[in-house]
Amino acid sequence: GAGVSQSPRYKVAKRGQDVALRCDPISGHVSLFWYQQALGQGPEFLTYFQNEAQLDKSGLPSDRFFAERPEGSVSTLKIQRTQQEDSAVYLCASSPGQGAINEQFFGPGTRLTVL
Amino acid sequence: GQQLNQSPQSMFIQEGEDVSMNCTSSSIFNTWLWYKQEPGEGPVLLIALYKAGELTSNGRLTAQFGITRKDSFLNISASIPSDVGIYFCAGRNPPASGTYKYIFGTGTRLKVLA
């Protein structure tokens, strides 16, 4: 497809389990962002990649959160030892630019529920 | 985390009415974006603003970049039922701060009554 895709769309995890969320950005897009969106809130920045380099991870809430983009395309957000407060929709966005980053195109998100 | 203040939080309007919403920040931004999000989907970009005072239209939507650079406004004219959704503003700090991240607003939930 032409847009950003994310998988799985829904994930239910038991507290303490590890999860991995995948993002396939638009082909050729240099920039990739991960956001966390809690119920009834706006998206909150987690981390940013320019190609394979993670330039900003200031939004990751704890060291249980880890993101990678090893070949500058597909990205994975991993959450270790999930907690109930990790329940949210995780959105991925990509952008064609690097220096002048403006328009971000979002995927549909992965809804994570931690029981 | 930091979120921008959006007003109103929600609104019910009659089809055909005009809608206004705004977004305020405590810090200066050099870019403002307005998104619409529908249930189960990611936000979709509506309008992008790059310059203080800029007024930009996209069909029935018009957005303005406030001259103080700390606020932005979105207007929807002659609303229709498919305008239903959550509207988010997002602002980005000047590049000199070294950040590429956008700060999003809390959202305005719009419901249109036919």
Please give the residue of chain A at the shortest CA–CA distance from B92: A102
Q: Indicate the average pLDDT of chain A.
A: 92
Contact at CB, A42 and B88, closer than 8 angstroms:
yes
Cis peptide before A70 (omega within 30 of 0): no
* DSSP codes, A21-89: EEEEPPTT--EEEEEEE-TTS--EEEEEEETTEEEE-TT--STTEEEE-TTSS-EEEEESS--GGG-EE
Please tell me the predicted confidence (pLDDT) of residue A26.
94
Q: Which residues of B touch A93 (CB under 8 A)?
A: 42
Please tell me the predicted confidence (pLDDT) of residue A101.
53
Q: Which residues of B touch A60 (CB under 8 A)?
A: none
| CA torsion angle B112 B9 A101 A112 (round to 10) | -90
Please tell me the predicted confidence (pLDDT) of residue B97.
54
Residue A48 has pLDDT above 60, yes or no: yes
Please tell me the predicted confidence (pLDDT) of residue B98.
58
| pLDDT single digits (tens) A10-47 | 999 999 999 999 999 999 999 999 999 999 899 999 99
- B113 three-state secondary structure: strand
Contact at CB, B3 and A108, closer than 8 angstroms:
no
Please compute the mean of the pLDDT values over residues A53-78 and round it to a whole number.
95
Using only C-alpha atoms, what is the Rg of chain A?
Answer: 13
Residue A108 CA to residue A29 CA, distance in Å, equals: 17
Q: State how far residue A110 is from chain B, nearest Cα, in angstroms.
A: 9
Contact at CB, B101 and A59, closer than 8 angstroms:
yes
Residue A100 has pLDDT above 50, yes or no: no
Contact at CB, B104 and A104, closer than 8 angstroms:
no
Contact at CB, B101 and A107, closer than 8 angstroms:
no
Q: pLDDT of chain B along its 114 residues, tens only?
A: 678 999 999 999 999 999 999 999 998 898 899 999 998 899 999 999 989 999 999 999 999 999 999 999 999 999 999 999 999 999 987 665 556 788 999 999 999 887
Q: Which of residues A74 and B28 earns the better pLDDT score?
A: A74
